[in-house]
Structure 1
Amino acid sequence: MDSLIVFLLALLWDLLLGEPPVKLHPVVWFGRIADFLDRKWKRKGPLSDFLAGALTALLVIAFALALSLLPRYLPFPLNYALAVYLLKSSFAVRSLHEHIARTVTEDIEAKRRAVSMIVSRNVETLDEAHLNSASIESLAENLNDSVIAPLFYFLLFGLPGALLYRAVNTLDAMLGYRSERYEFFGKFSARLDDVLNFIPARLTVLLYLPLGGLKVLGHYRLAKFKINSDKPMSAMSAVLGVWLEKPGVYRFPGSEPKNEDIRRALRVYWLVVAEWVGIVLLLLATGVCPCLSP
């Protein structure tokens, strides 16, 4: 029951208060460690860069695991308080909704600014439909990265699992680029993120099935562009019936996405979140999962 209490309190924190202060956010700490080591390493060649990048990732992961174990050495109620805080930092339900909701506007420049905060692509070249698509794509992908996956690993391995996943996902977001600087330095982080997201990305698709039925499976068969990230996008496209496209990378069929479709996507988001939270609560309450107590 320990894990159930920690999860319920962390979920309440998320829904009522949102994210912890930036300076005290463990995910920000992961990013700062990675950024510091990235800036210190002068690129020397493929093998050296790969090994340095792997060491960077392992150091961040070790820090995350050390944080996750701290509650075990604290007396009650400090152990619960820290466990709740750390678990909350591993997932983000409310803040994801807030970021996407800001993209629902008729002001194209305001929409462009809002979308630029959630995607890495150059939004200056995107028309309104592609901005709407980018917003919905980000919601679908981050539903997996920010909600489904961290809680999946919490179910399996407790707090260490949730924080390890969040550390790896942060590393991938910062270092996992196919660019001259990160091609080898970020490869370890990118591939590890692929491994950890393989099951959660497909689990996310399954959670869409009650909402979209066979259409979800049809779109899933079209998701052959990426290892993981396009799978949740394909499901969201199927449920909404709109096309989602990153030009030159992937496209899922449907009608042109509009502002109202972003609102619909947010309603779908909350339904999938509710499904997943219900499953997590059931597994924690019945003790089916091997989740470790704090």
Structure 2
Amino acid sequence: MEVLTVFFLALLWDLLLGEPPAKVHPVVWFGRLADLFEGRWRRRDPSLDFLAGTSTALLVIITALLLSLLPSYLPFPLDYALGVYILKSSFAVRSLYEHVARTITGNIEEKRKAVSMIVSRDVKALDEAHLNSASIESLAENLNDSVIAPLFYFLLFGIPGALLYRAVNTLDAMLGYRNERYEYFGKFSARLDDVLNFVPARLTVLLYIPLGWRKVLGHYRLARFKLNSDKPISAMSAVLGVWLEKPGLYRFPGREPGNEDIGRALKVYWVIVAEWVVIVALLLTTEVFPCLSP
């Protein structure tokens, strides 16, 4: 029951207060630590770049592990307080909702600016439909990365599991690009993120099943473009009935996504979040995972 209490307090913090300030946010620390070493490394050859990138990733992961273990060495109630803080830092329900909600606007330039804050692609040349698509795609993908996956690893390995996943996901977001600068330096981070997201991405799809299993499974069969990230996107496309496309990479069928479809996607988002919170709470209550037992 102690772990269940920490979970609910972390969730309550997230919903009421949102993200901690950047200066004291562990995920921000991980990003800055990775950026510090990546920015100072002069690219040499693929082998050395891979070794440097792997070393950087391991340093961040070890830092996350040490931080996540700290509550177990503190007396009550400091252990509870730090545990809640660290667990909350590993997931972001409210923040994701707020970022995507800002893209619901009839002003195309405001929409373009808001979308640019949540996707890595160049939004300058995107028309309104593709901006709407990018917003919904980001919501679907980050529903897995920012909510489902961290709490999945929390179920398996407690607070260390949640924070280590978040550290790896942050490394992938910063370094996991296939271009000249990051191809080898970020390869370890990208592949490790692929491994950790393999099960959660498909679990996320299963959570869409109650909203229309035939459509969800039909679109899932089309999700053959990427190892993980296109799976939740296919499910969101199926439920909304709109096409979602990253030009040159993937496209799921449906009608053109409108501004109102972002609002519909956010409603679907809350349904999936609610499903997952209930499942996590039930599993914690029944103590299915011995490592989380008091």
Same fold (TM over 0.5): yes
Alignment of 1:186-197 (within 5 A): 186-197=186-197
How large is the Cα RMSD of the aligned pairs?
0.8
Query: What is the rounded CA distance, in whole Å, between the counterparts of 2:187 and 2:222 in structure 1?
Result: 26
Query: What is the rounded CA distance, in whole Å, between the counterparts of 1:196 and 1:213 in structure 2?
Result: 25
Deviations 1:208-235 (A, max 9, x none): 0001211100000000000000000000
Is the counterpart of residue 2 in structure 1 residue 11 in structure 2? no
Deviations 1:143-176 (A, max 9, x none): 0000000000000000000000000000000000
Query: What is the rounded CA distance, in whole Å, between the counterparts of 1:264 and 1:137 in structure 2?
Result: 13
Aligned length: 294
Deviations 1:110-148 (A, max 9, x none): 000000000011111100000000000000000000000
- Kindly indicate whether the alpha-carbon contact (under 8 Å) linking 2:287 and 2:293 is maintained by their aligned counterparts in 1: no
- Kindly indicate whether the alpha-carbon contact (under 8 Å) linking 2:284 and 2:292 is maintained by their aligned counterparts in 1: no
Task: Return the TM-score normalized by structure 1.
Answer: 0.99
Query: What is the rounded CA distance, in whole Å, between the counterparts of 1:72 and 1:292 in structure 2?
Result: 13
How far apart are residue 289 of structure 1 and its match?
Answer: 2.1
Is the counterpart of residue 29 in structure 1 residue 29 in structure 2? yes
Query: What is the rounded CA distance, in whole Å, between the counterparts of 2:256 and 2:290 in structure 1?
Result: 44
Distance change >3 Å, CA 31–CA 293, structure 1 → 2: farther
Query: What is the rounded CA distance, in whole Å, between the counterparts of 2:290 and 2:149 in structure 1?
Result: 16
Is the counterpart of residue 230 in structure 1 residue 245 in structure 2? no
Which residue number in structure 1 is paired with residue 208 of structure 2? 208
Q: Which moved more, 1:78-87 or 1:283-292?
A: 283-292
Query: What is the rounded CA distance, in whole Å, between the counterparts of 2:238 and 2:207 in structure 1?
Result: 13
Is the counterpart of residue 47 in structure 1 residue 64 in structure 2? no
How far apart are residue 291 of structure 1 and its match?
Answer: 4.2
Amino acid in the other structure paired with 2:145 = D
Which residue number in structure 1 is paired with residue 270 of structure 2? 270
- Kindly indicate whether the alpha-carbon contact (under 8 Å) linking 1:201 and 1:231 is maintained by their aligned counterparts in 2: yes
Is the counterpart of residue 140 in structure 1 residue 143 in structure 2? no
Percent identical: 80
Any gaps of 5 or more consecutive residues in structure 1?
Answer: none
Distance change >3 Å, CA 266–CA 108, structure 1 → 2: same
Which residue number in structure 2 is paired with residue 240 of structure 1? 240
Alignment of 1:1-294 (within 5 A): 1-292=1-292
Query: What is the rounded CA distance, in whole Å, between the counterparts of 2:190 and 2:292 in structure 1?
Result: 27
Query: What is the rounded CA distance, in whole Å, between the counterparts of 1:172 and 1:66 in structure 2?
Result: 20
Task: Return the TM-score normalized by structure 2.
Answer: 0.99
Query: What is the rounded CA distance, in whole Å, between the counterparts of 1:289 and 1:109 in structure 2?
Result: 48
SS at match of 2:8: helix
SS at match of 2:121: coil
How far apart are residue 39 of structure 1 and its match?
Answer: 1.2
